[in-house]
Amino acid sequence: MTFMDLLLWARGPALVGAVAIFVFGMVLRLFEIYSLGRKPDLAPPRSGGPGSGWRTLWARSIPSKPFFKVSMLTYIAGYTFHLGFFVVLLLLAPHIMLIRSVTGLHWPNLPTPLIDLVAVITLLALIVTLVNRIMDPVKRFLSGVGDYVAWTVTFLPLLTGYMSYHHLLLDYTLMLAIHIMSVELLLIVFPFTKLTHMMSLFISRWFNGDWFARRGVAS
Amino acid sequence: MQDETLLDILKKRGVSRRAFLKFCAAATSLMALPPTMASAVAEALAKAKRPSVIWLSFQECTGCTESLTRSFSPTLESLIFDAISLDYHETLQAAAGTAAEAARETAMKENWGKYLLLVDGSVSTRGGGYYSTVAGKTNLETLKEAAAGAAAVVCIGTCSSFGGIPYAKPNPTGAVPVSDIVKDKPVIHVPGCPPIPAVITGVLVQYLTFGTIPDLDELGRPRSYYGDTIHDRCYRRPYYDQGKFAKSFDDEGARNGWCLFELGCKGPTTHNVCATTKWNQGTSFPIQSGHGCLGCSEPNFWDNGSFYQALSTPIDSVAAAAATAAVVGVAAGVGVGIANHHAKAKAKAEHETVTVNDLEK
C-alpha cells in the first residue's frame, strides 16, 4: 500500500464510515436524552416565557466576574482553543472545499498564514488546558480516561494538519492521510465521549433557562 | 567507435567545450550535488566510454521516446542520448524484423552484465502475457531475458515504473510494472507521463559519471529529481498561502494566475521537477499553462480520483451513508427510549412503600 492508497482510503471508505458512525451516534444520543422525559410541570409559570431559554444560551457563554477571577486560566485557555478550533475548521480554504463538496454551502476563506498562526495558538491553548488538568488536584481528581481521550482526539487533527501544511516529519501525502484519519477518529469517538457537549450544551442551557424562568428567575 | 569517449562524440557533432561545461553544471545542480562537483562531473563524463543501452518498449504510447527526441531543436540532452550506444530501440533503430532482433541479441551477448536496460511501457502478464508481443515473443519473456544480463534497469515513464494507464482499472491485460518482474537487479524509476527529458538524461549522466545509481526514494525514484513536490516549487504557491484560488478555468482568479488547488491540482501530492526544470527547454509546465497537475509521476495516477476534484474533498458520496446512519440512529434511539421507559415503569410497579414499621424490624 502506497501513501497515495492510504490517502484515497482516508478520503473514501474511511470518511464515509466515520461520518456514518458520527451521525448514527449523535442521533442516538439525542433520542436517548430526549426520551428520558420530564414530569409535567403542573404549577403555573411565574415569569419569563420561551425567551429566557434562548437568552440563557448566550448569557451562560459570558463568564461571570467571580468565576472568572477564580478560574481565569480555564476560561482564557478554554475560549482560545474553542474559538481557534472553529476558525481553523471553518475558514481554511481546503476545509471550505470539503464542506462545499458535501453540503454545497461555502463562504470566503482566511489567508493560510493567518490560519497557521491561529492553529499554533490553539495547539498551545490545548497544551495549557492539559497541563492545568494534570497539575490542578481538583481537575485531576475529576478527570477520567474519557477526558484524556477527548483531549487527544481534539489535539491530533490540529497537530497533523499543522504538520502536513509545513511538510514536517513525514511525506505530505502520508501526513495528509494521517490528518484526515485523525479527523475520522474524532468523528467516531465524538458521540460516545463528553465531546457530545457540542450539541447537548445548547439543549441543556436552553432547558435550564426555560426552567428557571418558570420558577421565577428568568435571565 | 566503442573506444570513443563521450566528449569525442560531442566534439564531432560540433558541441563546444563551453556548451558541454554548461550542460555539466546544469546536470550537477539537477543531481543536487554541490557546484564544486561540476568539474568532476565534466571530467568523468568527458572520459566516459559509450555504454551499451538496450531500450525495450512494451505496453506504451511512445510518448516517453517522443519526450526525449522531439525537442524543438536538438538539445545537448538529446545529443548525449545519441552518444550512448543505443543498440536496440524499436522506434529509433533503422533495422527491422529479424535484423533488429539479432542486433539486440548481439548487443546483449557482447555486453553481458554491463549494459543498461531502459524500459518504457508496462508488462502484460495475463495468460502468459500474450496481449503484447514483439517478434512473436511476449514482453514478459523478452524482459526476463534482457534483464538477466543488465547492470541495471531504468524504467522510463509511469507505465514501466508503476503500471501507468495499462495498469488502470480494470487492467484487461494483467499489466504490471517492471519491478514486479525484475527482482534481482537495481531498478530505477523515472516516472512521468512522459518524464522530463532532462531527468532521463540526468539519470544516465549519473550512471556514466559515477558508475552508480542515484539515491532513490521509497518508490524507487531518484531523490534529486523527485524529492520535492510540484506544490513546494510552484510559482503559484504564494497564492495558495494567501488563500487566492481560481474557482473555474475561465474566472478572474484563473486569469490572474491564482492557485489551481480547488480545480483539482495534484501538485501537493506529486513529486517531480516540472515546476523548476519545466518543459520545452524551460518554456512552461502544465500549471503555468493554466491546468492543474494530474500527478502523472505518482503510482495509479489514473485511478487516484478525478483530475478535477480538490485533494481535500471526499471521493465517495457521504450523503447517502449519512442519511442511512441517521435513519438507523433514529430507530436505535426509539428502541433505547422504549427500553428505558419499560425499565422505569417496571421499577415503579415493583416499588413497595416503606413504612416506619418496616424500618423498625
Confidence of residue B359 (pLDDT cuts 50, 70, 90): confident
CATH number for the domain that contains residue A129: 1.20.950
Contact (CB, 8 A) for B122 and B164? yes
Asked whether the beta carbons of residue A176 and residue B311 sit closer than 8 angstroms, the reply is yes
Helix (H, G, I), strand (E, B) or coil at A197: helix
Q: What pLDDT, on a 0 to 100 scale, did the predictor assign at position B141?
A: 93
Which member of B240, B269, B338 has the closest CB to residue A112?
B240
| Total tally of structural domains belonging to chain A | 1
Q: Which of residues 42-81 of A touch B (CB under 8 A)?
A: none
A47 CA to chain B: closest CA distance, Å? 32
Q: Which of residues 119-158 of A touch B (CB under 8 A)?
A: none
Highest-scoring range by mean pLDDT, A177-181, B40-44, B206-210, B281-285:
A177-181
> Per-residue pLDDT for A52 more than 90?
no
**Cβ of A200 under 8 Å from any chain B Cβ?**
no
Rounded to an integer, the average pLDDT of B7-23 is 76
- A151 lies in some domain: yes
> Per-residue pLDDT for B179 more than 60?
yes
Which member of A7, A15, A93 has the closest CB to residue B269?
A7
A145 CA to chain B: closest CA distance, Å? 25
Asked whether the beta carbons of residue B329 and residue A111 sit closer than 8 angstroms, the reply is no
Q: What pLDDT, on a 0 to 100 scale, did the predictor assign at position B271?
A: 93
> Per-residue pLDDT for B23 more than 80?
no
Domain range enclosing A185? 3-23+65-214
Chain A residues within an 8 Å CB radius of B298:
4
Beta bridge partners of B279: B284
Q: What pLDDT, on a 0 to 100 scale, did the predictor assign at position B351?
A: 85
Length of chain B measured in residues: 361
Beta bridge partners of B5: B49
CATH number 3.40.50.700 is the correct assignment for the domain at B6-226: yes
Which member of A20, A97, A172 has the closest CB to residue B321?
A20
Q: Which of A63-72, A98-107, B64-73, B294-303 is predicted with the least confidence, judged by mean pLDDT? A: B64-73
Q: Which of B21-35, B114-128, B181-195, B294-308 is predicted with the least confidence, judged by mean pLDDT? A: B21-35
**Cβ of B227 under 8 Å from any chain A Cβ?**
no
Which residue, chain included where needed, has cell 514486479? B180
> Per-residue pLDDT for A80 more than 90?
yes
Rounded to an integer, the average pLDDT of A30-39 is 81
Q: Which of A22-26, A30-34, A41-45, B2-6 is predicted with the least confidence, judged by mean pLDDT? A: B2-6
Q: What pLDDT, on a 0 to 100 scale, did the predictor assign at position A48?
A: 60
Highest-scoring range by mean pLDDT, A35-44, B75-84, B104-113:
B104-113
Confidence of residue A125 (pLDDT cuts 50, 70, 90): very high
Confidence of residue A20 (pLDDT cuts 50, 70, 90): very high
CA atoms within 13 A on the CB side of B10: 28
Confidence of residue A28 (pLDDT cuts 50, 70, 90): very high
Q: What pLDDT, on a 0 to 100 scale, did the predictor assign at position B17?
A: 78
Confidence of residue B21 (pLDDT cuts 50, 70, 90): confident
Domain borders along chain B are: 6-226, 319-360
Helices (H), B59-154: 63-69, 76-83, 97-110, 139-148
Beta bridge partners of B152: B116
Give pTM, 2 decimals.
0.79
Q: What pLDDT, on a 0 to 100 scale, did the predictor assign at position A124?
A: 95
- A172 lies in some domain: yes
- Percent of chain A topping pLDDT 70: 98
Q: Mean pLDDT, chain B, as a whole number?
A: 85
- A46 lies in some domain: no
Helix (H, G, I), strand (E, B) or coil at A42: coil
Q: How far is CA B272 from CA B53, B64, B328, B360, in A?
A: 25, 15, 46, 88
